[in-house]
Every structure is written in C-alpha cells, then in structure tokens.
Amino acid sequence: MSAGSTIICRPSKWFIWRALAIFTMLSLFSLYFLYDWKVGYPKSNFAYYVHQAFEKDLKESFAKHREEGRSDEEWITYARAQKVSFPEEMEALPKGVDSDMSWPEITQDIELLRRDGWHKLWLDYSKKAKLKSEPGPKPKSVAAIKEQLYWAIGVAVLALGALLLLFRNLSRRMKADLEAYYAPGGQKILFTQIKRIDARKWKSKGLATIFYQTEGGKDKKARIDGMIYGQFDAEKGQPAEQLYQRVVENFKGELIELVEVDEDEESETESNS
C-alpha cells in the first residue's frame, strides 16, 4: 500500500475479477453468435426443410397412394425418387448439403409409415440425424444468418476492449506523497494546484473528482477512484480512504461533499414550520 511517506493504491481484486468476468461473459456471447452463424441457423434451416418434406410432401403423397390402392413396391419406388424442396438460396443451409437431396431412406419404410404415420418416421430420423424434432415456424434468411456474424464480431470487439482495459489498468497506480497526488494516468498534481474537490460520490461509489490548474494556467480535472485502485479493505488499512484523506488534508480549496439530512431533525423542522 505505501512506501515511506507515499501512499500507493494498486488495482483492486474487485476490479480485476470484474473485468475478467465481463471479458468471459462477452467472449461466451461472441462464441454463441459465431456458432449460430456457422452451425446453428443453417442446421435449423436444414431441419425445417426436411421436416416439411415429412409433414407436407410425405403425408400428402402417402395418403394419395393409399387412396389409389397402389402396391408397396410402387411406394418404395416413388419415395426413392422424391427430392427435398430446398430454397434457391443454398447459402442458408449447411455446407455440403446436396440441393438434389432425396427423401431420407426411412420414408421408404412403408410398414412403419402405415402403422405409426409420418411423424414417427420424422422423430426417428431427426434423432438419428441430430436435428431439432420441432423446427421453428419459418426458416432463417441469409440476412439473419449474416447478422449473427456481425453480432459475434461486435461482441468480440467489446470483449477485447474489456481485456485491454484490464491490462492497461494493471500497470497503473494511484499515489499521494507529501506534496502531490499522482493520478492513474500519470499526472502529478500538486496540492497547491487543486482548486476544488467534488466528493459527493465518495461514500457511495468511492469516486472523487479533482479540479486543478496546471502551471500554464489551464483548468483540468482528474479522478480519485477508490473502487478500481486500493479499495476499502479494513484489514489492509483502507488504502483508498487513506489516500483520499491525504489529499483532502493537504489542499486549501473547496471541498464539495454530499449533505446528509438527519431524518429526525427534518421531521422536527417540518412540524415546527
């Protein structure tokens, strides 16, 4: 925490774990979007169109086959020749899917079809092919699939930003010696340069804003951030609080603090008035 008369506040564990948690969460979201772009949405589309082949084409064709009294061999020949009705935009389907894909072989099982119906055939096929047994009400468009890639890239950029913020702050320190405050960004601010300190958020958020004047006469401001640097662990001597008190005790300007109103006094004042 300190070196001689200098109080040093290093990045807190609270900040480090928080930054890591945000990075992890954003990374997982990015991977999730990436998976949907590359695998999830195209596979869902494939399931939708094959399911349509079962629910619509197979169901209607077999009903017609039975009405016309055709033989089992004729059905097998017919089913073997049918194609799944895929859209023209094959880009919305997994790579490697044949646009001339025939109905799955299980559709030729006329005994099972006659006994259990098309839905049982679909459930058996979807389980074996590892497809959703209940596809969505409509397929995902190419634009919607590309959108997942854009989201993946965007969230990955945010994750990288969180990681860079972590590494940047790991090398920073917040310090105060007997003559100056040293902000995490490296600015040396002499106590005599400080004109005002806004400490209204200090007790609630560990934040105080310093308004100071440079040697060249420019008005600038810096922060004392006790949540990111030092923290308020009593066992470690509350480093951030010690640094804050060092600054407050040594500057001669205006200190703006949050005024706490005593509820009893306020009630008494209201009753008297």
Per-residue pLDDT tens digits for 152-210: 999 999 999 999 999 999 999 999 999 999 999 899 999 999 999 999 999 999 999 99
> What confidence score (pLDDT) does residue 237 get?
86
| 138 shares a domain with 184 | no
CA nearest to 54, candidates 111, 106, 112: 106
Decide if 248 is inside a domain.
yes
Q: Is residue 235 scored above 90 in pLDDT? A: no
Assign 234 a pLDDT band (cuts: 50, 70, 90): confident
| 218 shares a domain with 129 | no
CA atoms of 184 and 187, how far apart (whole Å): 7
Can you list the alpha helix ranges (DSSP code H) found in 130-216? 142-170, 202-205
Number of structural domains (the chain) is: 2
| 94 shares a domain with 131 | yes
For residue 23, the enclosing domain spans 13-146
Q: Is residue 72 scored above 90 in pLDDT? A: yes
| 178 shares a domain with 106 | no
CB-count exposure of residue 103 (10 Å: 0-12, 13-18, 19+): buried
| 187 shares a domain with 135 | no
| 187 shares a domain with 120 | no
CA atoms of 160 and 180, how far apart (whole Å): 34
Decide if 166 is inside a domain.
no
Assign 136 a pLDDT band (cuts: 50, 70, 90): confident
| 204 shares a domain with 99 | no
Mean pLDDT across the chain: 91
Q: Which residues pair with 224 in a beta bridge?
A: 208
Residues 1-47 pLDDT 10s: 544 589 999 999 999 999 999 999 999 999 999 999 999 999 999 99
For range 117-138, the mean pLDDT: 93
Decide if 210 is inside a domain.
yes
| 49 shares a domain with 96 | yes
Decide if 91 is inside a domain.
yes
